Amino acid sequence: MKLSDPWQAIEACYESGWTDGLPVVPPTEPLVGAMLAGGVWDTHEVLLHEPARNLEVTAHKAAANAVMAGCLPEHFPVLGAVLAAIGDPTFELHAVSASTGGAAILTAVNGPIRDEVGIHYKENLFGPGFRANATIGRAVRLVLRNCLSSIPGKLDKSTQGWAGKYAMCFGEHEAASPWEPYHVSLGYAPGQSTVTVMAAESGHNVLNHASPDPEGLLGTFADTMSALGSLSSGRSLVVFAPEHARKIGAAGWTRPQVQEYLFTHATRSYAEVKRGGKVEAAGNVSGFHPTQWMETDPQVLPGDERINVPRGTCPDDIALMVGGGDAGGHSSFFPTWSRDRSVPLITREILMP
């Protein structure tokens, strides 16, 4: 782009359909070149291949969208890692982008790069106010729009969507965690930096100021996770506020213990599921794999009260992180986009120049 008047250049971006509704930084050649220099990729190197429509995102295209989002060159390695993660075939990017479910690409960052580039993980970590969080998350959305045609009303058929589709990027508050950082739990070294991506439905605030013990506290989380409106066999992400994390840590509960407790208690009876209208025509529970919970009669039958329908399929389906301000009993639960089994969380290392 070579328009000399800045406002004219911004309007030209609108006219070209390149924006998410907010103004973007015009992607001039010098700015795109500087962005590319912040990464480890050649200009034509493919960072993401979407097989359903055989579309590719090159480093140059990614850099142009990073410029438009307002990223700095030091943010570009994070964006590249996100694109590699969502390009994993198991992430089913085309389905996630096109579904009526309205999932956002949630990006969680671990490792030293959080502080090196200013990725926020304390107060208001899911909200506005922090350039790295806002622009990296926004760049992901712009890539989906401008390179993969994930445009509302066209490919993107989100029934309602949610604000995380503008930008959803944050860091884990590793120092506040009673456990090893999330990426270390997966086998990465503490000194490595990673991104973890998730096709996330909108988050649920989990409020509990009162419970001093893990059972009472986690019971609130389990109840939220098993709400009929989002109950499915999909994965989950729980981001504990530091106040909640301290209570769990003080009791000596390990990460696997918490996952096991939540999986065991985040359930509803099959009878409740039926009464709640979650059983579809063939007797499938909406959001669950077709081979599960088959019943030819959607009416409550003898024994349905004794059948448990859990959130997810095993404790490892529940990912645990820590983030947020030091005070306040407010944590978050994010369900994955779910139709049948849904897609996994994917973690990739961030490659630095």
Given a cut of 70, whether residue 341 has pLDDT beyond it is no
| Contact present, 261 and 218 (Cβ < 8 Å) | yes
| Contact present, 209 and 306 (Cβ < 8 Å) | no
**Which ranges in the chain belong to alpha helices (H)?**
6-15, 29-37, 59-69, 76-86, 93-98, 113-117, 131-148, 182-185, 214-225, 242-250, 255-265, 270-275
Nearest to 123 by CA among 266, 304, 328, 338: 328
Given a cut of 60, whether residue 291 has pLDDT beyond it is no
Q: How many residues does the chain have?
A: 353
Domain boundaries, the chain: 1-201+346-353
Rounded to whole angstroms, how far apart are CA atoms 318 and 312?
Answer: 8
What are the residues whose beta carbons fall under 8 Å from the beta carbon of 261, sequence distance 6 or more? 214, 215, 218, 222, 253
pLDDT digits (tens, 9 = 90+) for 108-161: 999 999 999 999 999 999 999 999 999 999 999 999 999 999 999 999 999 999
Query: How many Cα neighbours within 13 Å face the side chain of 251?
Result: 17
If one counts every other C-beta atom within 10 angstroms of the C-beta of residue 15, the result is: 9
- Provide mean pLDDT across the span 270-276: 89
Residue % of the chain over a pLDDT of 70:
93
Q: How is 272-311 classified by DSSP, letter by letter?
A: HHHHTT-B-TTSPBTTS-TTSS--S--S--TTGGG-EEES
| Contact present, 207 and 324 (Cβ < 8 Å) | no
Given a cut of 70, whether residue 289 has pLDDT beyond it is no
What are the residues whose beta carbons fall under 8 Å from the beta carbon of 221, sequence distance 6 or more? 206, 238, 262, 266, 331, 333
- Provide mean pLDDT across the span 247-255: 97
Structure tokens at 139: 């760049």
| Contact present, 34 and 17 (Cβ < 8 Å) | no
At 300, the pLDDT band (50, 70, 90 cuts) reads confident
Angle at 185 between CA 181 and CA 190, to 5 degrees: 50
At 281, the pLDDT band (50, 70, 90 cuts) reads low
Rounded to whole angstroms, how far apart are CA atoms 135 and 24?
Answer: 11
- Provide mean pLDDT across the span 284-297: 58
Please state the φ and ψ torsions of residue 318, each to the nearest 5 degrees. Answer: -110, 105
Structure tokens at 210: 């009162």
Helices 76-86 and 59-69 cross at an angle (nearest 10°) of: 120
Nearest to 169 by CA among 197, 196, 200, 137: 137
Average pLDDT, the chain: 93
